[in-house]
Structure 1
Amino acid sequence: MAKIRTGRVGEQIKKELSQLIQTEMKDPRIGFITVTGVDVTNDLSQAKIYLSVLGDDEQKAASLKGLEKASGFLRSELGKRIRLRHVPELIFKFDDSIAYGSHIEKLLTEIVDREEK
């Protein structure tokens, strides 16, 4: 039963957080960010937010710093939008699965091109 609730809370946090980042954040360090996933602990004390950032490593680091500085604002806004007794602590992490998938796709197309020649 608890896993169902944490899943629902995680999906709601993902939805609201992506909307907050796109519309409410005014920090110029934060670039184009996509929230790819949210893992919430069973007691709802922490939420790991997985992000995909468009840009190079320098832009990724700047975006992460900007989000960590704004975590208090994001938690308070989440508390207003999602009615929870305690809003989870937000921990931001990079999700490299999209970049890894595109790298694998590129390698596969190179192999197909070599076989056709």
Structure 2
Amino acid sequence: MTIKLERLEQIIRKEVSEILQFEVKDPNAKFITVTDVELTRDLSIAKIFVTFLNKEVSNEEQMATLEKAKGFIRSELGSRLTIRKVPELLFKIDDSLEKGNRIDEILKNSKV
């Protein structure tokens, strides 16, 4: 992966996080954390990995919030970034934290 691509991924991660926190009007968006961004080599698609802090609302509802706000987020990104074409946004649930917690539990239980 090139340095330029990594830097752009970091910038998109930061900008999408800020847009979710301060620009999107849906209150559920405040509890969404962007954990990672993966760009394709041609910069046409950005996979945005998210976790949800609000456990009272289902993951499906929170993903629906992201899908509704996708166009707005992309247009905001376009105004903040100086790139020719803003990538299409694909939101994915990042379950690595849950998997890590499960592995920790298994390791703790195996030591006993």
TM-score surpassing 0.5? yes
The 8 Å contact of residues 3 and 42 in structure 1, kept in 2 or not, is answered as no
**Moved >3 Å (runs of 4+):** 28-31, 55-58
Identity of aligned residues (%): 45
Answering whether residue 82 of structure 2 is matched by residue 83 of structure 1, we say yes
Q: CA separation in 2, counterparts of 1:107 and 1:15?
A: 33
For residues 14 and 110 of structure 1, the distance between their equivalents in structure 2, rounded to whole angstroms, comes to 36
Q: Which residue of 1 aligns with 2:102?
A: 103
Match of residue 31 from structure 2: 32
Aligned residues: 112
Amino acid at match of 2:45: Q
1:72 to 2:78 alignment: no
Select the structure of larger CA radius of gyration: 1
5+ residue gaps in structure 1? none
Corresponding residue for 1:5?
4
State whether residues 31 and 59 of structure 1, in contact with CA within 8 Å, keep that contact through their aligned partners in structure 2. Answer: no
TM-score norm. by structure 1 comes to 0.85
Deviation of 1:57 (Å): 9.2
Q: Take 1:57 and 1:108, find their aligned partners in 2: how far apart are those partners?
A: 29
- Structure 2 SS opposite 1:50: strand
CA RMSD of aligned residues (A): 1.9
Tell me the TM-score normalized by structure 2. 0.89
Cα distance in 2 for residues equivalent to 1:22 and 1:31: 5
